[in-house]
Amino acid sequence: MGLHNLQPAEGSVNRDGKRLGRGQGSGKGGTAARGHKGAKSRSGYSKKIGFEGGQMPLQRRVPKFGFTNINRKDYQGINLEKLQELVDSKIITNEVSLDILIENGLVGKNDLVKILGNGELKSPLKISVHKFTVSAKAAIEAAGGEAISL
């Protein structure tokens, strides 16, 4: 340690600057460093979200189109071929439920699940999920299984 690397303890030196609006003698009286006139000089000023200094904001410049249905239900699709892969790898035996699909990371715990008819199902499975396509239901029943909608 030498004189060249001495410094005050952290937080001990106050560098907040002059207090504003405390009279002319303080050097920051009058306008209190806000300048003259304009929105920022007034009390209660707060900039609107997306305000760009009077320039047309990005949100208003970008074209808007289409329609978003707030009541739409999104289903997580699982194909029959994926279920057959799970059977082949002995992860599932004869029953498929939401819990099994969640455990194996195929769907999230809050997802709605729909079985899709892509691929071939060879083993008879009892599947209970939210929805089935017509082709998937037919393929499951043709393999000797059961399709149960929740």
Q: For the domain that residue 84 is a member of, what is the CATH number?
A: 3.100.10.10
Is 16 a member of any domain? no
Residue 118 belongs to what domain range? 75-149
Is 123 a member of any domain? yes
Is 2 a member of any domain? no
Is 27 a member of any domain? no
CA 122 → CA 44, 86, 88, 95, 108, distances in Å? 71, 12, 10, 14, 26
Is 44 a member of any domain? no
Token couple for 41: 């000089």
Provide the pLDDT for residue 138.
94
Is 13 a member of any domain? no
User: Total domain count for the chain?
Assistant: 1
Provide the pLDDT for residue 15.
75
Query: Cβ(122)–Cβ(128) under 8 Å?
Result: no
For 24-71, what is each residue's pLDDT tens digit? 998 898 999 999 998 899 999 998 999 998 899 999 999 989 999 999
